[in-house]
A and B are shown apart, each in its own frame.
Chain A
């Protein structure tokens, strides 16, 4: 993950408090989604950025996950995400995020 983005996420966690924060991802494939989730949940696994060794423990979900989809406006979801659901591997993405969530639990 971009080092500047890591700084911004770290600052947001400091400003708003980790308790009320949730990260919602939009990565196109399971590997990049898992890497982003790992970074915001357990720290930067590449040890290159400000989140290296920083376990923010933020709850992390992907916009494709049922738990998120069920809460947003269906018409807007269809307009923004609809075509993506045909090409993105929702189940593999969820499995990757489940691994991160389980590891950090």
Chain B
């Protein structure tokens, strides 16, 4: 699966990898981030 040109939903978690970090990374692969979420379970 090639990320380049794909639209990505970055579904992170606060205790793992946040959505913002996922978004920044997949952008470097040429993906277009359409939704960034960071789940939080407390």
Q: A residues bordering B, Cβ < 8 Å?
A: 1-2, 5, 8-9, 12, 15-16, 20-29, 32, 36, 40, 58-59, 61, 63-64, 67-68, 71-73, 76-77, 80-81, 84, 88
Main secondary structure of the interface of B (DSSP, over half): mixed
A-B contact count (CB 8 A): 109
Q: Which residues of B sit under 8 angstroms from A16, Cβ to Cβ?
A: 7, 34
- On whether the beta carbons of B3 and A22 are closer than 8 Å, the reply is yes
- On whether the beta carbons of A26 and B7 are closer than 8 Å, the reply is no
- On whether the beta carbons of B24 and A21 are closer than 8 Å, the reply is no
Q: B residues bordering A, Cβ < 8 Å?
A: 1-13, 15-19, 21-22, 24-26, 28-29, 31, 34-35, 37, 39
